[in-house]
Chains A and B, each alone.
Chain A
Amino acid sequence: MTERRPAAAARPHMLLPAVTLLAGCQAAVLDPQGPVARAERTILLDSLAIMLAVVVPTIIATLAFAWWYRASNPKATRRPDWSFSGRIELVVWSIPLMVITLLGGVTWIASHQLDPRTPLASDTPPLDLQVVSLDWKWLFIYPGQQVAAVNRLVVPAGVPLRLTLTSASVMNTFFVPQLGSMIYTMNGMATTLHLMADHPGTFAGRSAHFSGDGFSDMHFQVHALPPAEFAEWAASTRSGSGTPLDDAAYLALSKPGVVDRPLDYARVASGLFDRILNQHLPPGPGPMPGPARHSSGRTGH
């Protein structure tokens, strides 16, 4: 396992182009709240800076050449038959080749450092989370705490998260922009993702892969709490009045529909995630006849 690079400090001069582009708006990807997102922003801005070093002069040269050699410019020297120069060809092949060599090196190293399967470097043991995308909502199962939630992800801040993801029906992508890497969810398959929130806060999450009519409603909030408060939340949810998430409740939940507000489940049938993953619980049924978009209001409280 590769050791993850400690969070690189953002270099202000490299932020410049992005800042001018995005002045006045909140760019989630450029405002990371965890080590993964931070490292990815660094890669993004570094790569951008490397390329801008070639792209900007090229744009300027294009406009300058076109203007200087306009037909009406009496000062321009014309070379109507000039069509080859070995030296220039060498240079024009070399410049992009060198840029790509540099960038390719960056890519190779960064791809390995930021592989979603690589655990995060931390003294704290990771929290296991199981994520299931349903039509059209997110189910989050906490196997250690034996609770579950829909469209709300409560996590401890400063603790690495080990997510195992699958889909109950069609493909989706789990994505919390301020925490970093997204990953696909696919039925019958599990993907792995490691994320962490540095500090307590609330972050928007959504599906990034189109999944049908309820796709736009597949968003959720990530609540990063101090570890003590997280433990409190888990305990109170477990002892709360929420319905248990057994196979029958899961099958009802897996019917297509949008949930209007987040739900909590007080207990989760053990091995539920594995039964979904191994298709012991059947894949989502798909659209029903009739215009039933919103599922009946089920709440856990």
Chain B
Amino acid sequence: MWGRLGWQAIPWEQPLPLAASAVVALALGAVLVWVVVKGHLPYVWHEWLSSVDHKRIGVMYIVLALLMLLRGFSDAVLMRAQQAVALNAPGFLPPEHFNQVFSAHGTMMIFFVAMPFMIGLMNYVVPLQLGVRDVAFPTLNSVGFWLTATGALLVNISLVVGEFARTGWLPYPPLSELTYSPGVGVDYYLWALQISGVGTLLSGINLVTTVLKVRAPGMQYLRMPMFCWTTLASNLLIVAAFPILTATLAMLLLDRYLGFHFFTNEAGGNMMMFMNLIWAWGHPEVYILILPAFGVFSEVISTFSHKPLFGYRSMVLATMAICILSFMVWLHHFFTMGAGADVNAIFGIATMVIAVPTGVKIFNWLFTMYGGRIVFATPILWSLAFMTTFVVGGMTGVLLAVPPADFVLHNSLFLVAHFHNMVIPGVLFGAFAGYTYWFPKAFGFRLHEGLGKAAFWCWVIGFYLAFMPLYGLGLMGMTRRMQHYDDPTWRPWLLVAAGGVALIAVGIALQVAQLVVSIRHRQALHDETGDPWNGRSLEWSTPSPPPLFNFAVLPDVEGEDAYWHIKQRAREQNQPRKEVDYRDIHMPRNSATGFICAFFATVMGFALIWHIWWLVAAAFVGAFATFVVFAWRDVHEHLIPAARVADIDREHRDRVASGGNPRSVALRPSA
């Protein structure tokens, strides 16, 4: 009846995950009870769970990312604590737990922190920057988000029901094959990623179509803000790369469930094929994450320097060059597999070539600051920390791209230090910069600056303390994923790294405090005008938070930095904008399709993991029925009458007018 599922699946002997999960379950239950008792359920259902508004979905993506960041970070704390004590000692985590912890850490951070954070920012910002009312496929967007949430949920369920993969964040066969990993851990990994991978692909298709087909009048390609360009590049990569991931994981699933031999030791299977395929997805994946962050930095550096982005067309070219080159370097992840010198050298050099457009970007940000009037708000602090730290990670990356150097550094802590040195300053700092920068747009009030800066310094110093020793440890010959070790000279550096993680923990606590304090003082931090930073692109021309329809009248774009020019012209002509001709607006109707589909997908994934075949069939029928119901829907849009649009828009204009225009001082060109 219940397949392989039984009471033995609950890890009763492990107090740590059980207690942690109990706390999480209690917290979730409490929130749920509060929502129901206070009568917020209809609001939560209509405005959030079944919403197809790109802004709501973007916010939900980021909430998911922030929650999963806490989970992934607690895994990091466990690893650092274990290695701090495990010199010639078993430590407090036996190998079968430690191996799950580092596998879950990587999986969480890449798939359920970095990805949803970036997709959330793109979802929220891109339609606003393009000057339009929604994405190309709003319901698909909702389905994509909820399938991503399904994947995150399945990984977290593995904490209390069964186990997670013990194979590393990429389950290299034959270790991940049934022979060597007979448990459900790898199955949790595979189904979580198959389901969320579909969600990511849908989101990629949606955002590519949005940038290509849904733009305000006059928003030509070479007038789009840089963030839209990097969104386009990133989502093109998603569309091209995620099917490779799905196919690769499907082959491993066939091996595990139906006795196929794609990657097994026996019967002609070949693990090298898995490594080639997984990295054919895996290397573009890192650019999928970093490109949107590059976009965020471009927006932030330009805005807070009060200058246009330097070398805009050059930046576009560099972005698209990275987009293409990222598909041509995957082999550098396994130089030590024994390929010939020609192959290794060619892929090594191809990898270095990516450093050219990336270097161009760094220099162009540098010259964006040149001659600027830089205001050190939190977002640009994150950007400066990124620029100075990322070049170090880039340098060690090029070092690892030299095959003979990689021969002594591969899979060592030097490698671990390198990719954290790319992903934390690159992706995570970019995410935090974007979070702080666009927060007032989303919620109508700014985040507390003092706490934001305190969190920033903890993160940056904590990062250096946590990861610079890892470079040294790699040169000392320490490999990654060691549950215990016997070299006493490693210990002091591991203790420093643990101290760094503690400092990062303080940074995260300060970020939580920042959110709480900002919500409590939201009146004082209120953003009256919708343009708190004196921004340059169209999202700042709408109220904060924007109305459901984003723009009462679609803007007419006449050049780069569209909103900057609108503001400049208004100041030069010094006359109130003429009365606008408001029209009825059609907006997509809400749909619970995404939420219900994801519910069935969760049940189906869980049933597949535990071999409960009748439940698999039932959940599949449920998901398909949901889709059919949606397909038979006749009315897709609802109408917002022109009078209502006019009311909302006039109210905003009055507010801007009465709030005066303090920014006009900043607009004045300096002598």
Are B404 and A43 in contact (CB-based, < 8 A)? yes
B179: chain A residues within 8 A (beta carbon):
283, 285-286
Are A110 and B402 in contact (CB-based, < 8 A)? yes
Are B407 and A83 in contact (CB-based, < 8 A)? no
Are A117 and B371 in contact (CB-based, < 8 A)? no
What's the Cα separation between A233 and B370 when bound, in Å? 69
A272 at the interface (CB under 8 A from B): no
Are B369 and A40 in contact (CB-based, < 8 A)? no
B344 at the interface (CB under 8 A from A): yes
Are A44 and B405 in contact (CB-based, < 8 A)? yes
Are B355 and A26 in contact (CB-based, < 8 A)? no
A192: chain B residues within 8 A (beta carbon):
338
A228 at the interface (CB under 8 A from B): no
Q: Report the minimum CB–CB distance from B333 to chain A (whole Å).
A: 12
B611 at the interface (CB under 8 A from A): no
A188 at the interface (CB under 8 A from B): yes
Interface string of A125-145 (1 = CB under 8 A from B): 000000000010000000000
Interface string of A10-26 (1 = CB under 8 A from B): 00000000100110011
Are A65 and B307 in contact (CB-based, < 8 A)? no
What's the Cα separation between A213 and B93 when bound, in Å? 12
> Known contacts A111-B344, A188-B265; is A181 also within 8 Å of B349 by CB?
no
B476: chain A residues within 8 A (beta carbon):
22, 25-29, 177
Which of B182, B305, B372, B482 is most buried by chain A, counting CB atoms within 10 A of its CB?
B372
A173 at the interface (CB under 8 A from B): yes
The segment out of A146-154, A214-222, A237-245, A246-254 that lies at the interface is: A214-222
Are B489 and A80 in contact (CB-based, < 8 A)? no
Are B403 and A107 in contact (CB-based, < 8 A)? yes
A117: chain B residues within 8 A (beta carbon):
338, 340
B371: chain A residues within 8 A (beta carbon):
69, 76-80, 82
B49 at the interface (CB under 8 A from A): no
What's the Cα separation between A287 and B409 when bound, in Å? 30
Are B352 and A104 in contact (CB-based, < 8 A)? yes
What's the Cα separation between A116 and B339 when bound, in Å? 9
Interface string of A82-93 (1 = CB under 8 A from B): 111100110011
Question: From residue 140 to 185 of chain B, which have CB atoms closer than 8 A to chain A?
Answer: 166-168, 172, 174-175, 179-180, 182
What's the Cα separation between A135 and B492 when bound, in Å? 30
Tell me the count of chain B residues lying within 8 A, CB to CB, of chain A: 98
Partner of B480, one of A81, A92, A210: A210
Q: List 9 A-B contacts (CB under 8 A).
A: A25-B493, A85-B311, A92-B367, A103-B352, A113-B404, A169-B174, A209-B172, A210-B168, A283-B265
Are B364 and A47 in contact (CB-based, < 8 A)? no
A58: chain B residues within 8 A (beta carbon):
362-363, 366, 391
The segment out of B72-80, B107-115, B373-381, B579-587 that lies at the interface is: B373-381
> Known contacts A84-B311, A210-B480; is A40 also within 8 Å of B408 by CB?
yes
What's the Cα separation between A18 and B342 when bound, in Å? 29
B189 at the interface (CB under 8 A from A): no
Are A96 and B359 in contact (CB-based, < 8 A)? yes
B629 at the interface (CB under 8 A from A): no
Q: Report the minimum CB–CB distance from A292 to chain B (whole Å).
A: 13
> Known contacts A29-B409, A43-B404; is A173 also within 8 Å of B387 by CB?
no
> Known contacts A28-B477, A107-B349; is A69 also within 8 Å of B334 by CB?
no
Q: Report the minimum CB–CB distance from B347 to chain A (whole Å).
A: 10
Q: Report the minimum CB–CB distance from A34 to chain B (whole Å).
A: 11
**Chain B residues within 8 Å of A, Cβ to Cβ:** 95-96, 99, 166-168, 172, 174-175, 179-180, 182, 265-266, 271-272, 305-312, 314, 334, 336-338, 340-342, 344-345, 348-349, 352-353, 355-356, 358-360, 362-364, 366-376, 384, 387-388, 391-392, 394-395, 398-399, 401-405, 407-412, 468, 471-472, 474-477, 479-487, 489, 492-493, 669-670
Chain B residue at minimal CB-CB distance from A289: B182
Are B481 and A210 in contact (CB-based, < 8 A)? yes
Are A63 and B398 in contact (CB-based, < 8 A)? no
Partner of B166, one of A62, A212, A286: A212
What's the Cα separation between A130 and B405 when bound, in Å? 25
Partner of A208, one of B308, B370, B479: B479
> Known contacts A29-B409, A59-B388; is A107 also within 8 Å of B352 by CB?
yes
Q: Report the minimum CB–CB distance from B356 to chain A (whole Å).
A: 4
Q: Report the minimum CB–CB distance from A29 to chain B (whole Å).
A: 5
Are B372 and A175 in contact (CB-based, < 8 A)? no
Partner of A69, one of B168, B180, B373: B373
Are B336 and A44 in contact (CB-based, < 8 A)? no
Q: Report the minimum CB–CB distance from A170 to chain B (whole Å).
A: 4
B344: chain A residues within 8 A (beta carbon):
111, 115
Are A114 and B407 in contact (CB-based, < 8 A)? yes
What's the Cα separation between A96 and B373 when bound, in Å? 28
Are B307 and A213 in contact (CB-based, < 8 A)? no
Are B480 and A66 in contact (CB-based, < 8 A)? no
User: Which secondary structure dominates chain B's binding surface?
Assistant: helix
Are B475 and A71 in contact (CB-based, < 8 A)? no
A21: chain B residues within 8 A (beta carbon):
468, 471-472
Are A96 and B355 in contact (CB-based, < 8 A)? yes
What's the Cα separation between A88 and B365 when bound, in Å? 12
What's the Cα separation between A112 and B345 when bound, in Å? 8
A295 at the interface (CB under 8 A from B): no
B360: chain A residues within 8 A (beta carbon):
92-93, 96
Interface string of A259-300 (1 = CB under 8 A from B): 000000000000000000001000111110000000000000
Partner of B482, one of A43, A187, A215: A215
What's the Cα separation between A106 and B307 when bound, in Å? 40
What's the Cα separation between A194 and B352 when bound, in Å? 27
Are A88 and B367 in contact (CB-based, < 8 A)? yes
Chain B residue at minimal CB-CB distance from A205: B477
What's the Cα separation between A82 and B368 when bound, in Å? 8
Are A180 and B408 in contact (CB-based, < 8 A)? yes
A279: chain B residues within 8 A (beta carbon):
265-266
What's the Cα separation between A55 and B421 when bound, in Å? 15
Which of A40, A92, A100 is most buried by chain B, counting CB atoms within 10 A of its CB?
A92
Are A170 and B479 in contact (CB-based, < 8 A)? no
Are B310 and A84 in contact (CB-based, < 8 A)? yes
Are A111 and B348 in contact (CB-based, < 8 A)? yes
Chain B residue at minimal CB-CB distance from A93: B360
Q: Report the minimum CB–CB distance from B352 to chain A (whole Å).
A: 5
A75 at the interface (CB under 8 A from B): no
Are A47 and B266 in contact (CB-based, < 8 A)? no
A65: chain B residues within 8 A (beta carbon):
366, 369-370
Partner of A27, one of B168, B391, B472: B472
B484: chain A residues within 8 A (beta carbon):
216
Are A70 and B355 in contact (CB-based, < 8 A)? no
Q: Report the minimum CB–CB distance from B457 to chain A (whole Å).
A: 15
B486: chain A residues within 8 A (beta carbon):
219
B410: chain A residues within 8 A (beta carbon):
173, 182, 208
Partner of A108, one of B167, B349, B468: B349
A85: chain B residues within 8 A (beta carbon):
311, 367
Are A100 and B355 in contact (CB-based, < 8 A)? yes
B493: chain A residues within 8 A (beta carbon):
25
B312: chain A residues within 8 A (beta carbon):
83-84
4 new A-B contacts, CB < 8 A, other than A69-B374, A84-B312, A93-B360, are A111-B341, A114-B403, A184-B334, A187-B265
A162 at the interface (CB under 8 A from B): no
A224 at the interface (CB under 8 A from B): no
A66: chain B residues within 8 A (beta carbon):
369, 374, 384
B271: chain A residues within 8 A (beta carbon):
171, 186-187
Chain B residue at minimal CB-CB distance from A135: B180
A37 at the interface (CB under 8 A from B): yes
Q: Report the minimum CB–CB distance from A26 to chain B (whole Å).
A: 5
Are A183 and B338 in contact (CB-based, < 8 A)? yes
What's the Cα separation between A62 and B368 when bound, in Å? 11
What's the Cα separation between A65 and B387 when bound, in Å? 12
Are A44 and B388 in contact (CB-based, < 8 A)? no
What's the Cα separation between A210 and B483 when bound, in Å? 11
What's the Cα separation between A27 and B481 when bound, in Å? 19
B337: chain A residues within 8 A (beta carbon):
183-184, 186, 191
Are B398 and A286 in contact (CB-based, < 8 A)? no
